[in-house]
Amino acid sequence: MYNDNFMTEKNIEMADKNFDVNDQSTVDNEETVGEIHVGDPRIVAKNVDVHYGDKIAINNVSIDIGKNEVLAMIGPSGCGKSTFLRCLNRMNDTIDSCAVKGELYLDKENILDKKIDVVSLRAKVGMVFQKPNPFPKSIYENVAYGAKIHGMAKNKAELDEIVFKSLERAGLFQEVKDRLDSPGTSLSGGQQQRLCIARTIAVSPEVILMDEPCSALDPIATAKVEELIYELKENFTIVIVTHAMQQAARVSQRTAYFHLGNLVEVGPTEKIFTTPIHKLTESYITGRFG
């Protein structure tokens, strides 16, 4: 039920049912409510549509994502939040049937442009996945991977510095400093996820995308990752997809609520969780469906 990448018939049907119970009006073509725009945007999405073959996964989404903020995207399974996240660094390119339309600007550059260099885009917009996915290499090599690929270090000393600093910032250095040569897969789940975050930070991205980064972790590991996200926002723009509403409330400044491929409501997190404007948002956060 956590796989948002594909809207199955069943998901849509189920969501439809819930939706009918709560609200008879349709969201199609309805404008997003709340505060879409921010003063100092880093990412600007304008009328983004995503199709998987004939199916619409994302319908006309427009949203700004500000500098040094954590934006949480919430919504029921199959609502398109992960799909939208994957648009931000063109990871949807790896799915053949997926077509993205609209405009999506990162620092005034349209990243949906076919001509753009996807490799340098992904270096600027890093991604952390739902399941920790360290490479079958040592801890050191895992973190050094991106830096090596992008030729960021001229010599071993510089590479060491990048690796140590990234591990430090991911709050993992103290735990692994004595065993940097052991395989990344030998770490615990929570450590693996922080290793993946360190690996992403090592490339010095501007934006970090996180696709339910804590859904495979226990509460203690989750707390550590959340703390880390909170600290990272000083330097990075973070977009996080989550199913845990408390997590969204804890780590984010703004929250976006997706429903059936529509962006229903965006606003400051506090406002979304206390005084939501849209009925659907209210139903979702009060646990009436989802």
Residues in contact with other proteins, counted by CB under 8 A, come to a total of 31
Our CB check for other proteins shows the closer of 240 and 264 to be 240
127 lies in the site for other proteins, by CB under 8 A: yes
Do the beta carbons of residue 182 and residue 137 sit within 8 Å? no
Cα separation of 151 and 147, whole Å? 6
Our CB check for other proteins shows the closer of 200 and 255 to be 200
Q: Which of residues 201-260 bind other proteins (CB under 8 A)?
A: 203, 205
Cα separation of 92 and 61, whole Å? 16
Site string for other proteins, 65-94 (x = CB under 8 A): ------------------------x-x--x
Rg from Cα positions in the chain: 19
Q: Which of residues 91-120 bind other proteins (CB under 8 A)?
A: 91, 94, 96, 119-120
- Residue 145 φ/ψ, nearest 5 degrees: -50, -55
- What one-character-per-residue DSSP string does 225-263 give? HHHHHHHHTTTSEEEEE-S-HHHHHHH-SEEEEEETTEE
| Out of 136, 151, 219, 287, the residue judged to bind other proteins by CB under 8 A | 136
187 lies in the site for other proteins, by CB under 8 A: no
Q: What is the dihedral of CA 213, 217, 223, 227, to 10 degrees?
A: -30
185 lies in the site for other proteins, by CB under 8 A: yes
If you search the block for the tokens 């073959």, which residue do you land on?
53
| Out of 14, 33, 112, 121, the residue judged to bind other proteins by CB under 8 A | 121
Q: Which residues contact 160 (CB under 8 A, 6 or more apart)?
A: none
Q: Which of residues 149-178 bind other proteins (CB under 8 A)?
A: 149-150
Binding residues for other proteins, rule: CB under 8 A, are 89, 91, 94, 96, 119-124, 126-129, 131, 133-137, 145-146, 149-150, 183, 185, 196, 199-200, 203, 205
